[in-house]
Structure 1
Amino acid sequence: MDDRRELRKMPRGERCPECGSRKWYLQDGLRYCARGHQIEGFIQFEVGGEEAMGRTGPVARRKKEVREVEKRQLTGQEGKSLYVEAVQLLLRKQLEFLVRKKGHRPELETVVRDLWDLRIRGYGASIHDYDISESEPETFSSQPVAADMQEKLSWKPASRVQSWDPARGNGWPLPRMPETIALCYLGCLLLKIPTRLADLQNWVSAGTMPYLRAYVELPVEMQKRMPSAYAKALKLPLAGGLKGHDLYQTLLDTVFSYKVNYEMTFPEMNWFPMLVQYTKELALPVEVISITKRLVAILDHCFEFPALKARTTPFDHPEMKLLAFLVVSTKLCFPLNHGQSVSLASPSLPIPRFDWEKWKTGYTEQLEKLRSQILERPLFEELTPEKITNLEDGEFDAFVSYLRDTIGNNTKDTITSFFPVELDSPPQPSFPEVIESQVEKEAYRVLAEAVKADNNTAPGAKRYESFRAIQDLSETANVLFNAAGDAAGVPLDMLVRATYKLEQHLIWWQWNQPVINSESIIYAGVN
């Protein structure tokens, strides 16, 4: 027994994994340390043959199987591809909403799919031409472009127009979240579907059109594999929402990028149904529509995106231009100051008197309240600890849901595993969607109270009020401009600048007329 317990010294660098002993002995073909712990990974075998009977061969170490540990979050090119797939999935959900829920034509899916193919065509080519496995996220790239593309971009130096050339390699700009809304709008534009940008924004704010919860609604596996930088980009809409100014700018940048990369232009929008919709929402008389059509024809304007311009203004956006025409026509028909009168020299078209005071009262008390329901959004990111403690039960539940969606719930804590969070049913809209019939009914009531027949209007032209900046707006003008801006989802200053520029166009046209005949609009002056 003592001979079999003969202790030997282990090779240099080896120890017993249990006790750290460096001495071992052999027993029954197995190796044990001096304290009796079996040492795995060693086998003893016979040399073989009768002449070698009883002799033992050398001890060999069994190689352990090397396991490849797969990273949870993808990096490099794989991470970029996963982000592009996530944006594409969001775009598909948005198209499904427009076609199935809003009744848009099925061809919209084909048109937007072709636009999307043009948008990411350079990305597919760059995968094979460049090794970017160690590259950093380039979601919003600002790297310099090639010389030939720089020449195309020279006409628009201050914009965010992007080159989609695959030769940019690591600098190829990945699509941003608001571009999905812009592509849906451009698809409707190509099919002449009268969908306003404000409609898309309102559906997003109401939570019915997929956008705000884009990251939360991704498959769980995609959320786990998404790189942190791209996951943050997908979560931003839930924290910041979709702002009208950014959406309008994104749309212009997308249109100009298609022009630069593919020499592609977009047709004039189907503006007349949009004009009727704006007039109904603002509770304005139907005469405004007729005057707007006459004004558009007189100035020979079209509602399409500009092709090449050194600098863009709010008036260059087709919808902003249409809204400016509507505001100017309203002020021509029904002056904001009822002590003045601007006439239209057309006896066949009697213009009623419009009571702006009653319109202001009805709009601010009813219509504005209804419209604000769809535009309101709780700013959870601005809450302080004191405000959080004072939240009501429903508001606190919404705040906790917001935190879960924003931060995520990927903890590995053992205790929390015993208290699983119940998965929500399909998310309900966070913001109540205003019923169109309710808005139309209230607008009709406001309009009926404000319009009055007046056959004693004194003929002749009076001065026309024009406002160059926000601080110049009168009380009535401030309500009208704010109402129009809310209907279009744009800031007040953008609408004021667009309207003022149209008024300058109108003055220039009037100065170039040799004689103002009886069928022309009287534009007597500007305050």
Structure 2
Amino acid sequence: MEYVTRGVCGQDGCRETRYYLDNGLWFCRRGHQQEGQQIQHDDDNFGSQGKTNRVRKTTTVEKVQKTYHGRQGFRLFILAYQLIIWKQCHVFIHNKGFPQGFETVVRDLWTLRLRALAGKLDDSSDDGNYEELFSSQVPEPPKDQNTPYSHGSKASDSPKLIETLALCYLGALLMRLPVSIGDTLPNGDHLHRTVLELTNLYNREFDVSFPPLNTPPMLFEYIRQLALPLEIYASVQNLQKVVDFTYRFPIASRKRDKHLAFPEAQMIALVIVAAKLLFPFDELNRYPTSAHDPATQVIDWGHWAHVQKQFEERTAEIGKGKEILVTEMDVLDMTNDQLDEYMDWYENSWLDSRGTETRPVSNPLVDMFPTGRAGIESQPEPPLHGREDELIDAKLQTIMSTLKPRRPISDEESINMEHDILRPGSSYPIYRYISSLPETGRLFYESAARLVGLSLQSVVRAVLHTELKLQQWQERKRRTEFQGEEFAWDFLNHSTKVTTDDKNNMEGMILSDENQGIEE
């Protein structure tokens, strides 16, 4: 008996997809008759006389699903993948204010990536008609081809969905846009690693190198969002030269430095180290030698933590683009208005006009549970939406207005004092684990981690390795001075003016961890 493959039978839980025709009726292989599938002979006009009234027949069209394999299936996957990239570029340009040329840059990156996949595609995918592929219109699938494709090098591996965001990030990097992975994903360790792998792939396969981060605007934004004094900016630049950070993705990274392989991890680590040097979290009094030293300002970290928590609570409301990140734990803490807003978003995104889910649902009880808030007029967006910049500025002004001054004590004055005084950078604590962070220090680390889209553990490790690099630099300097050689500061003075106070702060850095020389 000849069978025809159609949709799932569905009667009495039958999952059969093969059918046969018997006397004009369709039956599944297990004998279930299919409604609306009868084959009828059009003999309405047989033997008719006089006037004939024709009645339009209702025909039932069944959607038949088909699974493609081999090169044809992979080509359909690539078409869908390209559509996702195009939609993401459209959102970045029209909703996020990216320049029009952004799509062209991402398209060029994807073109190179597509060349590495040529072995898995048929000849028609390499005809140069890229405009057809990179658009909102999906072409018709090619004819069946059963020739299997083989897995080659990593460059020819199937692209993953997260690489679509990585391509957009690399496009922004090439255009020198001050964009952080934290702007895209709140916890993007995976995305950071994916971008690193892609940069290595482009360099290895196509000899493409990527520039460093656009440091000035990104560093300024980090300092602004963390509500730190602007003096941190110069300190970070000085520290960068000491540890020789490049703020660019390495071609190959050592295993020990894997936490510093991400450029944004390098930058945020230096911001944290500079903050700990100038404004430590403990209650020890460290007196600068000059009134020009940035350490003459004292941050009340308790007040900073209070203001930061208020800021996070005010920005925790569900906003456009954040709904997809909501978890079941977040729902428990939502207010009534936030729950209504989330359900409105869910209805608009995942339900059709009838209130049923967008995927096919055959439940007859669905219509008994209408969705939406009937009779309730839509409320205007809360004033906090779209005001994140204003909230950041308000937070910054609040914290800056509470900075306290600290009296400088010169070296000559300290000689006449009965007890030794601490200088900025001395008794510098390092934190090997998350559990060792003080309460206010942990909140500061967490805020910095969210800013760059890294986990707290990754940021703690990045800061630790940065501090170890500074410790090694300090030990080399001491050995050089002990041998009677003059230590060269020229590399610090290059392109950035370094004051005597800046040098003293770095020279006075003493790591107070009980186990120094920490290994990963």
What TM-score does the superposition give when structure 1 sets the normalisation length?
A: 0.63
1:163 maps to which of 135, 155, 159: 155
* CA distance in structure 1 between the aligned counterparts of 2:252 and 2:23, rounded to whole angstroms: 78
Render the CA deviation track for 1:371-399: whole Å, top value 9, x for unaligned.
Answer: 43466743259999xx9xxx966655656
2:308 maps to which of 356, 363, 368: 363
The 1:70–1:340 alpha-carbon spacing in structure 2 relative to 1, beyond 3 Å, is: same
* Displacement of 1:496: 0.1
Q: Give 1:107-506 correspondences, 5 Å limit.
A: 107-128=101-122, 133=145, 146=152, 149=153, 162-164=154-156, 172-173=157-158, 175-201=159-185, 243-311=187-255, 313-341=258-286, 343=288, 347=292, 351-364=296-309, 366-373=310-317, 377-379=325-327, 404=351, 408-411=358-361, 434-456=386-408, 460=423, 462-506=426-470
The 1:102–1:128 alpha-carbon spacing in structure 2 relative to 1, beyond 3 Å, is: closer
SS in 1 for 2:201: helix
* Displacement of 1:296: 1.1
Structure 1 contact 481–496 (Cα < 8 Å) conserved: yes
Match of 2:72 in 1: 78
**Unpaired runs of at least 5, structure 2:** 1-21, 26-40, 44-61, 126-142, 373-379, 410-420, 482-486, 490-499, 514-520
Render the CA deviation track for 1:219-258: whole Å, top value 9, x for unaligned.
Answer: xxxxxxxxxxxxxxxxxxxxxxxx4222222212222222
The 1:494–1:253 alpha-carbon spacing in structure 2 relative to 1, beyond 3 Å, is: same
* CA distance in structure 1 between the aligned counterparts of 2:440 and 2:453, rounded to whole angstroms: 20
The 1:508–1:278 alpha-carbon spacing in structure 2 relative to 1, beyond 3 Å, is: same
Q: Give 1:70-109 correspondences, 5 Å limit.
A: 71-76=64-69, 77-109=71-103
Render the CA deviation track for 1:419-444: whole Å, top value 9, x for unaligned.
Answer: 9999xxxxx99xx8552332223222
Structure 2 contact 227–395 (Cα < 8 Å) conserved: yes
* Displacement of 1:123: 2.9
Structure 2 counterpart of 1:361, one-letter code: H
Match of 1:526 in 2: 512
Which 10-residue stretch deviates more, 289-298 or 69-78?
A: 69-78
* Displacement of 1:116: 0.6
Which 10-residue stretch deviates more, 506-515 or 350-359?
A: 350-359
Structure 2 counterpart of 1:447, one-letter code: I
SS in 1 for 2:208: coil
Structure 2 contact 290–408 (Cα < 8 Å) conserved: no
Structure 2 contact 279–295 (Cα < 8 Å) conserved: no
SS in 1 for 2:177: coil
Render the CA deviation track for 1:385-420: whole Å, top value 9, x for unaligned.
Answer: xx9xxx966655656667649963324679979999
The 1:348–1:118 alpha-carbon spacing in structure 2 relative to 1, beyond 3 Å, is: same
* Displacement of 1:268: 1.1
Which 10-residue stretch deviates more, 346-355 or 192-201?
A: 346-355
SS in 2 for 1:163: helix
Structure 1 contact 75–133 (Cα < 8 Å) conserved: no
The 1:119–1:407 alpha-carbon spacing in structure 2 relative to 1, beyond 3 Å, is: farther
* CA distance in structure 1 between the aligned counterparts of 2:164 and 2:224, rounded to whole angstroms: 28
**Unpaired runs of at least 5, structure 1:** 1-14, 19-37, 41-68, 150-161, 165-171, 203-242, 423-427
Structure 1 counterpart of 2:423, one-letter code: G
* CA distance in structure 2 between the aligned counterparts of 1:78 and 1:111, rounded to whole angstroms: 28
Q: CA RMSD in A?
A: 4.2
The 1:99–1:125 alpha-carbon spacing in structure 2 relative to 1, beyond 3 Å, is: same
SS in 1 for 2:316: helix
Structure 2 contact 297–405 (Cα < 8 Å) conserved: yes
Matched length? 388
Structure 2 contact 287–407 (Cα < 8 Å) conserved: no
Which 10-residue stretch deviates more, 290-299 or 121-130?
A: 121-130
Structure 1 contact 371–434 (Cα < 8 Å) conserved: no
* CA distance in structure 2 between the aligned counterparts of 1:368 and 1:39, rounded to whole angstroms: 71
What TM-score does the superposition give when structure 2 sets the normalisation length?
A: 0.64
Structure 2 counterpart of 1:378, one-letter code: V
The 1:276–1:396 alpha-carbon spacing in structure 2 relative to 1, beyond 3 Å, is: closer
Structure 2 contact 245–266 (Cα < 8 Å) conserved: no
